[in-house]
Amino acid sequence: MFIETDFNEAFEHIDERCKELLEQALANEHISSLSYTDVSYELVEDFYGSQPDTDSVYVITQGAVAHEQESATLFHYDIGDMFGLDHENHPSPYRLYAAGPFSLRRYHRAELLTAMSNHADIAKIWADFLIEECKRRTCIISLVEQGIDKASLGFVHYQEGDVIIEQGTTADSVYSIVEGHAEVFVNDIKVGEVLENEIFGAMALLTNSPRTAKVVASCTCMILVVPKEQFETLMKTHPHICMNLMENMARKIVSLNEQVTAAEPPA
């Protein structure tokens, strides 16, 4: 799960714990033997409005699904999250939508909940998951009530062939691929790729210079876009992103050194 705010480390820890516990529960032999259906969607304006299914719960296997309430997008379910536990036979107070393709694993709700409750070895894990899920929702409410600037971080979807960064333009943001991958071109010659979880666009921003390459989505991508003024805050509150950035820049430097060494004439 992620939210369109400058969320804190406490939320990240709870989110990671939720995913770990749910993964453990679903991997249990009593659950893994249950029947399920894998389904995929493209753009969806209103998930329950387009298919009023009140008997299923869903685990996201690809993509993300946004949760909107009172005309505000509060958070996004992403890979490893479950939704549908709270959906019943009456109009929903929220809307679930997706701006890009996503895939789900659909379970029958009553069958899943019965299996989760009837076996002691999994009931404890399931109870721990539900507690962490409550904590995660509480954390989201707390962040929203604090009035954190929701424009600080943005998640943008790109289709195959879309230009994410144009060579020669002014650097005003840093990017990270949440899902998908992209190709890097210099003067329309492919020079590399950007994979999931890699941060790109930081070099030009840090050196206050124009973009030295063009980055093009090579498939449907979801990109985290961090404006320049929020970059410093993000580095402080999300140390794993800082580590990814340093690793990425280090690889680029090593690669450049290898290219220079290979190009030098023998002594």
pLDDT on residue 86: 78
Nearest residue to 217 (alpha-carbon basis) of 157, 171, 174: 157
pTM: 0.56
List, in sequence order, the alpha helices (H) in the chain: 9-27, 29-32, 47-50, 109-118, 120-145, 202-207, 228-237, 239-263
pLDDT on residue 60: 96
What is the Cα–Cα distance from 206 to 122, expressed in whole angstroms? 49
- Cα-flanking dihedrals φ and ψ of residue 179, to 5°? -145, 140
User: Which comes out higher in pLDDT, residue 226 or 55?
Assistant: 55
Q: What digits encode the pLDDT tens for the residues 107-124?
A: 999 999 999 988 888 898
pLDDT at residue 238 tops 60: no
Q: 266: which DSSP letter?
A: P
* Mean pLDDT, residues 60-84 taken together: 90
Nearest residue to 155 (alpha-carbon basis) of 250, 64, 52, 48: 64
Q: Report which residue type is found at 141.
A: I
What is the Cα–Cα distance from 167 to 169, expressed in whole angstroms? 6
User: Which comes out higher in pLDDT, residue 7 or 258?
Assistant: 258
* Mean pLDDT, residues 255-261 taken together: 61
Q: What digits encode the pLDDT tens for the residues 134-167?
A: 888 877 776 665 544 444 456 788 999 999 999 9
What is the Cα–Cα distance from 85 to 71, expressed in whole angstroms? 22
Enclosing H/E stretch for 260 = helix 239-263
What is the Cα–Cα distance from 44 to 41, expressed in whole angstroms? 7
pLDDT at residue 227 tops 70: yes
* Mean pLDDT, residues 63-80 taken together: 88
Question: At 211, is the secondary structure helix, strand, or coil?
Answer: coil
pLDDT at residue 223 tops 80: yes
9-145 to CATH, choices 1.10.486.10, 2.60.120.10, 3.30.70.1380, 2.160.10.10: 2.60.120.10
CATH 2.60.120.10 domain extents, the chain: 9-145, 154-263
Quick one: CATH architecture of 154-263? Sandwich (2.60)
Using DSSP bridges, classify how beta strands 65-69 and 72-77 pair: parallel, antiparallel or unpaired.
antiparallel
User: Which comes out higher in pLDDT, residue 8 or 16?
Assistant: 16
pLDDT at residue 201 tops 60: yes
pLDDT on residue 152: 45
Q: Report which residue type is found at 34.
A: L
Question: At 171, is the secondary structure helix, strand, or coil?
Answer: coil
What is the distance in angstroms between the CA of the first residue and the CA of the last residue of the chain? 56
